[in-house]
């Protein structure tokens, strides 16, 4: 089966193959490092983590590049101040310190969410030379012009402008408002390079005097540098379609005279009380605080279990339900490990084959993960019934564990390493089991209570006692 992905550029689900038939070259817009990532940012980063892992599940290699925006992302108010500079002023430190601190925090957070790091994480401040060269090339090709030390992209020189966002003229104009400077030739033109006013904290020399790059040019330059043009897939949250990605396309296609990226994928927003969660609005929960309350696996599961192109509302109930599901999966793993039967010829192999087929068919349909997961949960119910009926051999159980590992190479919410209890606690469990067998139930109950106080919950099953941390 071929994976189909919804391409924002064509507004269609299209069969996806990497251009070279093997390795997928993918660029995802990374965080602007002036604050901790919030749980909405995490949703977008997870969308692309699941996509990357699913591409591998299907046998592709993936070269993933994800930038760190540490300069040039302006606030959306009239002052249009750099987000990092504003935060640095508030905290009375340098913009570089702000970037360093929040970049580290970002890596810590994604690691806990089991998001695999990109192969390359280019920082904008380390690629200023490449941006200057790209801007020079745009001027040379007649797509950009300089005024008073700033350089603007001439939107009129690129007739395909608007092809990604497909916005009507008025909205394209409204989006250019942030850039409203008298000196632009046309209102829709946007800045590639900005002159640094006196006292501006971040500045680099350039052929047009000291200044700093615009946010859009960072991504088109860094993606082209590490992936080549055209590359296979460019992604980000839906808010980046316009102006960020529209402008990236104009710049890159203007600079190289050919297609920039083949597929554009955008994930929907995470909402809180029906509104987009955002750092600038302040209505956000950090990824860290949600993980601390509900565990990283539950947080991850909650965020990936809804289709990436549907809005998702953050609620405690949703997170608690996700935690519950992750626990059920974990209990299933423990139960499988304790299967000791030898009976041959069970239904299990057929169940595995049909669940795996169902999972892959749904994922192939533009990562329809909620439907893919329903195959997994149906499978779990049927497999549990077979175990209950004593119909499952140790060999079957180990085939199920292999299947779960394959699924988890995409989902990443399960744990397969079995935890060894400290000997002293294991001894209490053994002693209780011995009391139970002697029918000394009051001793058995006392031991169970003792274990509970130490955070170990026991569950008696036909296969013997099982423990979990409570
Ligand atoms: P930023 O750090 O603001 O540049 O955003 C990093 C990524 O998170 C971008 O791809 C955004 O589109 C995405 N993003 C921001 N807010 C949300 C949200 N509420 N839900 C989903 N993705 C978001
Ligand atoms: Zn970007």
Give the residue, by CA position, lying nearest to ligand 1 atom 17: 40
Q: Is 241 in the pocket of ligand 1 (CB under 6 A)?
A: no
User: Cβ of 312: how many Cβ atoms within 10 Å?
Assistant: 20
Long-range contacts of 79-85 (CB under 8 A, 24+ apart): 80/178, 80/179, 82/201, 82/202, 82/212, 83/32, 83/34, 84/32, 84/33, 84/34, 84/202, 85/200, 85/201, 85/202
- Per residue in 249-292, pLDDT (tens digit) is 999 999 999 999 999 999 999 999 889 998 778 889 999 999 99
Query: Would the pLDDT of 424 be above 70?
Result: yes
CATH (one of 3.40.50.2300, 1.10.730.10, 3.40.50.720, 3.40.50.300) for 287-411: 1.10.730.10
Helix (H) or strand (E) holding 78: none
- Measure 340 CA to ligand 2 centroid, in angstroms: 53
Ligand 1 within 6 A of CB of 72: no
Question: Is 44 near ligand 1, meaning CB less than 6 Å away?
Answer: yes
Phi, psi values for residue 262, rounded to 5° = -80, -40
Question: What is the distance, to the nearest Å, from the Cα of residue 423 to the centroid of all Cα atoms in its chain?
Answer: 39
> Span 352-372, mean pLDDT?
98
Residue 416 in tokens: 């397969």
Report the distance separating Cα 353 and Cα 461, nearest Å. Answer: 28
Using one digit for the tens of pLDDT, what is the confidence trace for 213-263?
A: 999 999 999 999 999 999 999 999 999 999 999 999 999 999 999 999 999
Per-residue model confidence (pLDDT) at position 386: 93
Find all residues with CB under 8 Å of 26, minimum gap 6, and list them: 48, 51, 52, 62, 63, 64, 65, 227, 231, 232, 233, 234, 235
Residue 156 is predicted with a pLDDT of 96
Question: Is residue 57 predicted with pLDDT exceeding 80?
Answer: yes
Residue 261 has what pLDDT? 98
On the question of pLDDT at 77 being above 70, the answer is: no
Please, which pLDDT band fits residue 79 given cuts at 50, 70 and 90? low
Cα separation, 151 vs 453, in Å, equals 68
Ligand (nearest to CA of 215): 2
Separation of 149 CA from ligand 1 center, angstroms? 31
pLDDT in tens, 378-417: 999 999 999 999 899 999 999 999 999 999 999 999 999 8
Is residue 41 within 6 Å of ligand 1 at its C-beta?
yes
CB 278 near ligand 1, within 6 Å: yes
Q: Which two three-digit tokens encode residue 292?
A: 């601390």
Name, in order, each residue with C-beta under 8 angstroms of 328's C-beta and a sequence gap of 6 or more. 380
Residue 5's closest CA among 22, 33, 20, 26?
26
- Which atom of ligand 1 is nearest to 238's Cα? 12
For the chain, the domains span 7-267, 287-411, 423-469
Cis check: omega of the bond before 149, within 30 degrees of 0: no
The CATH number for 7-267, chosen from 3.40.50.620, 3.40.50.1000, 3.30.70.260, 3.30.2130.30, is: 3.40.50.620
CA distance 287 to 131: 32
Q: pTM, whole model, 2 decimals? A: 0.90
């Amino acid at each position: 089966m071929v994976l189909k992905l919804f391409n924002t550029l064509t507004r269609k689900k299209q069969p996806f193959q990497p251009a070279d038939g093997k390795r997928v070259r993918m660029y995802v817009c990374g965080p602007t490092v002036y604050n901790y990532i919030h749980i909405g940012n995490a949703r977008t980063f997870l969308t692309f983590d699941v996509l990357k892992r699913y591409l591998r599940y299907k046998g592709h290699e993936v070269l993933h590049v994800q930038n760190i925006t540490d300069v040039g992302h302006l606030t959306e108010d009239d002052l249009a101040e750099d987000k990092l500079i504003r935060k640095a002023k508030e905290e009375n430190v340098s913009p570089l310190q702000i970037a360093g601190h929040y970049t580290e925090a970002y890596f810590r957070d994604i690691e806990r969410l089991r998001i695999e790091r990109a192969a390359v994480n280019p920082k904008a401040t380390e690629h200023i030379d490449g941006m200057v060269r790209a801007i020079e090339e745009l001027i040379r090709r007649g797509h950009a012009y300089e005024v008073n030390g700033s350089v603007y992209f001439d939107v009129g020189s690129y007739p395909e402008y608007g092809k990604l966002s497909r916005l009507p003229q008025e909205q394209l104009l409204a989006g250019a408002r942030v850039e409203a400077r008298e000196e632009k030739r046309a209102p829709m033109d946007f800045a590639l390079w900005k002159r640094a006013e006196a006292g501006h904290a971040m500045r680099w020399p350039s052929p047009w005097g000291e200044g700093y790059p615009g946010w859009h040019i960072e991504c088109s330059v860094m993606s082209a540098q590490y992936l080549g043009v055209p590359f296979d897939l460019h992604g980000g949250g839906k808010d980046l379609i316009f102006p960020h990605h529209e402008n990236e396309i104009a710049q890159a296609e203007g600079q190289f005279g050919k297609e920039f990226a083949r597929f554009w994928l955008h994930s929907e927003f995470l909402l809180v009380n029906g509104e987009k969660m955002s750092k600038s609005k302040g209505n956000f929960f950090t990824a860290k605080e949600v993980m601390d309350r509900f565990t990283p696996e539950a947080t991850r599961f909650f965020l990936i279990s809804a289709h990436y192109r549907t809005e998702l509302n953050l609620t405690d109930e949703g997170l608690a339900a996700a935690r519950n599901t992750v626990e059920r999966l974990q209990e299933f793993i423990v139960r499988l490990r304790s299967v000791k039967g030898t009976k041959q010829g069970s239904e299990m192999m057929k169940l595995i084959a049909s669940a795996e087929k169902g999972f892959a068919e749904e994922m192939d349909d533009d990562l329809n993960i909620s439907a893919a997961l329903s195959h997994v949960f149906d499978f779990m119910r049927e497999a549990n019934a077979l175990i209950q009926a004593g119909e499952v051999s140790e060999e079957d159980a180990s085939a199920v564990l292999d299947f779960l590992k394959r699924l988890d190479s995409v989902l990443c919410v399960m744990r397969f390493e079995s935890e060894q209890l400290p000997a002293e606690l294991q001894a209490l469990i053994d002693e209780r089991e011995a009391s139970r067998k002697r029918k000394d139930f009051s001793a058995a109950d006392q031991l169970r209570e003792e274990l509970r106080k130490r955070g170990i919950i026991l569950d008696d099953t036909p296969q013997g006692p099982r423990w979990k941390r409570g």
